[in-house]
A and B are shown apart, each in its own frame.
Chain A
Amino acid sequence: MIKSLTVVAALGLVTGGAALAHHGWGSYDAAHPVTVSGPIQTLKYENPHALLTVRAKDNNKVWTVTLAPTFRMDSRGATEKVVSVGKTVTAYGYPSMTDQSEMRAEWIQIDGKKYELR
């Protein structure tokens, strides 16, 4: 009885731990931060995390940048108006270890103002 219980409980923990990380900071490569600068192509100002895409000025690569929950964005001044399509953004963050074109932003800078997102 106890054995099968342990198996059931362990199943949940193991599948959770072994599965590829996606949303936590753990699945982003903090050892190799990147800075991407360019015009904002699209913005999804939505929970659980706001997202934008930016076309990098230097190599035209389009990055999906995962931002913060919108409540935090808003309270730090990075409102939907500030982070609008067409503006130039500089995003500093960590590339995803599973998606070559996604990064999670530690901070972004728009119109000369820096917004910490973590």
Chain B
Amino acid sequence: MEHAAPAIFVALEASDFALGIRKSLWLYPAANIGHIVALVCFAGAIAVMDVRLLGGLAATTPGRLLVRARTFAIAAFVGMAVTGAMLFAAEASHLAVNPVFQVKLALIGVGLANIAAYEFGIRRAVDGLAPTVPMPMAAKIAGALSLGIWVAVAACGRSIAYAG
């Protein structure tokens, strides 16, 4: 089921950058491992945040817990983006037309939109809350969406290699 990829992805795959990643014995596996390690860190930080938004870990002050976890989540996301870009470049022309990869990217977009909705809207109603105060419904929804979306992203990521 090979479809022709847009020229930009063919060019990316043919670039010295991508060739260097494919030719090196260790760069590709290193990026692979780095991607998973960053994913684990991201999932951990995100889970802490989402559980708090859903009303768990109720003894903590939400604003303080979330701000610490956010730092880890951002760092881990950068790690995933860098290693992901390496893995993508090496096989760009195949991945760009891989349906599961496309679903994964779309889900990442939805996940980032959910984060934006929280950061620029819902967050104001959460940051000042004291421990054990019930979470606003909007925060619970954002937390639940986040958990579902990022788990689906990870499942897609693992499925890419098995999709035509």
Contact partners of A27 in chain B: CB under 8 A: 162
Please classify the interface of chain A as helix (H, G, I), strand (E, B), loop, or mixed, using the class held by over half of its residues. Answer: helix
**A20, A24, A48, most chain B CB atoms within 10 A:** A48
**CA–CA, A69 and B26, complex, Å:** 10
Contact partners of B28 in chain A: CB under 8 A: 47-48, 69
Asked whether A8 lies within 8 Å of B162 as measured between CB atoms, the reply is no
Interface residues of B in 119-154 (CB under 8 A from A): 141, 144-145, 147-149, 151-153
Q: Chain B 1-15, CB within 8 Å of chain A: the 1/0 string?
A: 100000000000000
Number of interface residues of A (CB under 8 A): 29
Contact partners of B99 in chain A: CB under 8 A: 15, 19
A112 within 8 Å of B by Cβ? no
Asked whether B29 lies within 8 Å of A20 as measured between CB atoms, the reply is no
Closest to B164 in A: A20
**A15, A20, A21, most chain B CB atoms within 10 A:** A15
**CA–CA, A70 and B23, complex, Å:** 8
> Which of B25, B158, B163 lies in contact with A22, CB distance below 8 A?
B163
**CA–CA, A21 and B162, complex, Å:** 4
Contact partners of B153 in chain A: CB under 8 A: 12
Q: Chain A 11-28, CB within 8 Å of chain B: the 1/0 string?
A: 111011101111110110
28 pairs of residues in contact across A and B, judged by CB atoms under 8 Å? A1-B144, A5-B145, A9-B151, A12-B151, A15-B99, A15-B103, A15-B159, A16-B100, A16-B155, A16-B159, A16-B160, A16-B162, A19-B159, A19-B162, A21-B162, A22-B162, A26-B162, A46-B19, A47-B22, A47-B23, A47-B28, A47-B90, A69-B29, A70-B25, A71-B25, A71-B26, A71-B29, A98-B164
